[in-house]
Each structure stands twice: as C-alpha cells, then as structure tokens.
Amino acid sequence: MAMVVKQRQAKERMTDERGLAFLSVMMILLMMTVLGIGALMVTGLENRIAGFASSMEASSAAAESCVAIGVKVIQQTLDTTAGAATIPTALLSSQTPPGPVPVSNVAQLQSEIEGGTAFVPDVPVGPPYPAGVTAAVPNLDLTVGAYSVKGDIDFLYRKRRAGSPGAGSFNYHQAGGTGGGIDLYYRVDCVATNTATGLSSRVAAVYSCLLTEGCQRI
C-alpha cells in the first residue's frame, strides 16, 4: 500500500513539474513575442521618421532651387534692362523648353523687379492670404522632381551704397542712367509641394542687387 502511495506521489510531482515547465515555456514565448512586436514597431517608426526626414530634405531642396532661379531671373532682368525692366524672353513659360515665369504674370513681375509702386501685392500660394492679397499669383511656376514649386519675387526697397558717387535718382532704370551705387533689395519666397503626399516646404531669402554686378544673399 505504501508503495502505491509513493508511486502516486511521484507521478503527481512529475505532472506538477511538467506543468511548471510548460508554463515557463509559455511565459518565455509570450515575452519573446512582445519583444518582437516592439522591435517591429520601433523599426517601422524609425523607417517612417527617416522617410519623413528624407521627404522634408527633398522638398526644402526643391524650394531652395526655386529661390536660386528667382534670383537668376532678377539678375538677368537687371543686366539686360535698358530704361525699363524687361523679363528676357527665354525665361517665359511660352518658350521651348518652358521658362519659370508664367506669361500671364510678366507685367506684374516686371513692375516688381523695377521697383514700381503700381504692382499688385501677391503671394506664391494660399489661402490664407496676408492683408491686401486676394489670390495667389506666383511669379515663378516650375516642377522639380515630384514637387510643384511656386515662387514670389517682391521688391523691398532701394538704398544708396555707402561711398558711391551720387546718382540723380533712386530709379536704376532712369533713362540714360547706369544705376550708380544703388542697391536694390528683393525677397524671394518659394513653396515646394509634393504632388502625391501634399507635403510642402517654404524657403524665403532676401537679396541685395546692384545693376550689372549681380546679387548677394543677406
């Protein structure tokens, strides 16, 4: 009888040990599963962050390229002007290949580069619009890779350069004048938008330009 009891106790002990081992294995598997899911989530998050950062860099680069094109438009217009601001024909969207300046906005852009007082306030994108602006009328319109890029060129003010010979007028385009030592200040504002995702970046820069001597970013 005692032998039977001992055998029964030994079987129960083995059963308990097997149950404990099974429970331990299940706990380990559960922990490994949780760790694996966590690792996948972290990896996915890192990939999304990396992708977002890459997209932001690409959109910023597209906007920067628009700013560079904008200042080239200013420089070429100033360098080829004789008496009034005239956008070079090669820069117009009607040319082959198309230039960055929309034909419908040539007069507006010429007035702004000239520094005239009659130009209508404009912006590259919107709404919302700042006070006095009712529509987005970009001075520059181009495509850079997957990005649609709009740009705005605004004349800010003119200032006589220190030490320069006096000029009869602050208008660089005065008939018979060369502009003397008059610095012209412009703001180039560009927005690049990814056509698929809608992600956008905006870059603005101010340039000081002197007739026939180019522009400098300030």
Q: How do residues 15-46 score in pLDDT, each as one tens digit?
A: 556 667 777 888 888 888 888 787 777 776 66
Distance CA 52, CA 27 (A): 37
- Of the pLDDT bands very low, low, confident and very high (cuts 50, 70, 90), residue 98 is very high
Other beta carbons within 10 Å of 157:
10
Lookup: tokens for 163 = 């030490």
- State residue 165's pLDDT score: 57
- State residue 163's pLDDT score: 60
- Of the ranges 6-10, 134-138, 145-149, the best mean pLDDT one: 145-149
- State residue 6's pLDDT score: 54
Other beta carbons within 10 Å of 24:
10
> ω into residue 165 within 30 of 0, thus cis?
no
Q: Are strands 214-217 and 182-194 parallel, antiparallel or unpaired?
A: unpaired
Whole-model pTM: value is 0.71
Distance CA 16, CA 23 (A): 10
Please list the residues that pair with 142 across neighbouring strands.
149
58 has pLDDT over 70: yes
Comparing 12 with 197, the larger pLDDT belongs to 197
